């Protein structure tokens, strides 16, 4: 009987030992899994995409590229429409001077060369960095495609312009209609590619970071916050107006565009008054002076040129040349303002305590 008890005790002890070992193993695995999950969560937090300074600079640079390409092409296309009469009216004895078209084609040629060298020959665009690799790849691929189509448009436009510059129409005026179709079709193909490029870039527009200056006690940080709000509000309003403006023609009803311009100007005046009322210390006065002397001037000039064009359009007395000139002026001053924005944001971002 005593042997049976001893045997039972040994068996029970063995089972208890095995059970404890299994429990320890389960705890070890569970603990490892929990630690692994925690480590994975930490990694995710560390690699989460953010709108970093590099991303912002990358985005702003390609906004500048978009504006300059659009400006160059629109100037050339409108100059062609202004210089060249209805192709069906071109005769051997016609007097056609495509001087503006010649000038703007030269500007477009230089722009294409500059961007090709900048991207493909280790220039500024090639050196741009971004923390968001998806954004960088998408935008650069769209840019390369748009640049290729832009060059095709230029080559077509150059052929058409040479036809008039070299007076070839005097020998063969029947080609005028064919050349007109070519440049119009090339422009349409370019616009399709450019619109895709534009959509791709603006897809990555950084979300606006809402700031409440009243909750900021540090005067330098408060001043920087007021300025940043003003710059971003102005950009949003300008882009909304530009989207409306770029679709107008000489005979358009501009009442809606005028209303948007009024809202843009009033909002800027409101934000400008906030900048003027906030305290700037010796450390931040340079940002205030930059805003007053540089950025504000470009905004006012842009509004002035826009109103000048709209006033002339409402009188219904503009010819094509006058409209194209006024339209181009608005585009130019819009681009001056955007360049001022990019420069001002760059200056503001050097303020490290903000």
- As to burial, measured by CB atoms within 10 angstroms (0-12 exposed, 13-18 middle, 19+ buried), residue 37 is exposed
Predicted local confidence at residue 43, as pLDDT: 29
CA distance 260 to 245: 10
Contacts of 327 (CB under 8 A, 6+ apart): 74, 78, 248, 309
- Cα–Cα distance measured from residue 125 to residue 65, given in angstroms and rounded to the nearest whole number: 10
Q: pLDDT of 290-338, one tens digit each?
A: 999 999 999 999 999 999 999 999 988 888 878 888 888 898 899 889 8
Integer Cα distance of 338 and 236 in angstroms: 11
Q: What is the pLDDT of residues 171-202, one digit of tens each?
A: 999 999 999 999 999 999 999 999 999 999 99
Closest-CA residue to 77 (of 168, 153, 165): 153
Structure tokens at 235: 């950009």
Q: Is residue 240 within 8 Å of residue 168, measured between CB atoms? A: no
Share of residues in the chain with pLDDT > 70 (%): 84
| Dist. CA 35–CA 31, nearest whole Å | 6
pLDDT of residue 95: 94
Contact residues for 109 (Cβ-Cβ < 8 A; gap 6+): 154, 158
> What are the CA-CA distances from residue 133 to residues 61, 140, 152, 200, 204 (Å)?
16, 10, 29, 14, 12
**105 has pLDDT over 90:** yes
Q: Which two tokens stand for residue 167?
A: 């007076």
| Phi, psi torsion values for 142, nearest 5 degrees | -65, -35
pTM of the complete model: 0.67
Rounded distance between C-alpha atoms, residue 239 and residue 255, angstroms: 18
Higher local confidence (pLDDT), 40 or 177: 177
Closest to 150 (Cα-Cα) out of 104, 121, 109, 119:
109
How many other C-beta atoms lie within 10 A of the C-beta of residue 300?
A: 15
Contact 133, 112 (CB under 8 A): no
pLDDT band at 56 (very low <50, low <70, confident <90, very high): confident
309/249: higher pLDDT: 309
DSSP 3-state assignment of 312? Answer: helix
Which of 349, 345, 348, 335 minimizes the C-alpha distance to 64?
A: 335
∠ CA 182-184-189, rounded to 5°:
95
Rounded average pLDDT over 14-22: 44
Provide mean pLDDT across the span 71-85.
Answer: 89
Out of 164-178, 278-292, 331-345, pick the least confident. 331-345
For residue 118, give the 3-state DSSP assignment. helix
**Structural domains in the chain?**
49-206 (no CATH), 208-354 (1.20.120)
Interatomic CA distance for residues 266 and 275, integer angstroms: 14
Residue 290 CB-density burial (10 A; 0-12 exposed, 13-18 middle, 19+ buried): middle
């Amino acid at each position: 009987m005593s042997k049976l008890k001893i045997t039972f005790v040994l068996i029970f002890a063995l089972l208890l030992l095995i059970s404890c070992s299994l429990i320890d193993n389960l705890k070890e695995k569970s603990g490892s899994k929990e630690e692994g999950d925690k480590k994975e969560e930490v990694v995710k937090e560390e690699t989460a995409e953010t709108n970093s300074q590099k991303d912002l600079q990358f985005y702003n640079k390609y906004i500048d590229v978009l504006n300059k390409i659009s400006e160059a092409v629109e100037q050339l296309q409108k100059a062609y429409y202004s210089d060249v009469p209805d192709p069906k009216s071109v005769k051997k004895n016609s007097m056609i001077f495509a001087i503006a078209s010649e000038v703007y084609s030269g500007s477009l040629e230089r722009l294409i060369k500059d961007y090709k060298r900048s991207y493909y020959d280790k220039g500024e665009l090639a050196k741009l960095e971004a923390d968001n690799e998806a954004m960088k790849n998408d935008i650069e691929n769209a840019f390369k495609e748009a640049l290729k189509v832009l060059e095709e448009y230029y080559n077509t436009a150059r052929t058409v312009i040479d036809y008039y510059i070299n007076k070839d129409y005097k020998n063969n005026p029947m080609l005028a209609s064919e050349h007109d179709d070519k440049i119009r079709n090339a422009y349409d193909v370019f616009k399709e590619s450019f619109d895709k490029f534009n959509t791709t870039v603006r897809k990555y527009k950084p979300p606006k970071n809402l700031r409440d200056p009243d909750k900021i006690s540090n005067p330098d940080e408060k001043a920087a916050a007021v300025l940043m709000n003003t710059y971003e509000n102005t950009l949003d309003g300008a882009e909304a107006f530009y989207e409306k403006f770029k679709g107008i023609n000489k005979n358009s009803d501009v009442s809606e565009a005028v209303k948007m311009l009024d809202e843009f100007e009033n909002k800027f005046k409101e934000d400008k008054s906030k900048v003027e009322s906030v305290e700037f210390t010796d450390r931040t006065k340079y940002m205030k002076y930059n805003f007053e002397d540089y950025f504000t001037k470009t905004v006012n000039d842009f509004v002035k040129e826009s109103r000048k064009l709209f006033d002339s359009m409402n009188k219904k007395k503009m010819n094509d040349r006058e409209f194209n000139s006024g339209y181009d002026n608005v585009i130019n001053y819009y681009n001056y303002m955007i360049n001022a924005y990019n420069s001002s944001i760059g200056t503001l971002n050097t303020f490290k305590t903000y």
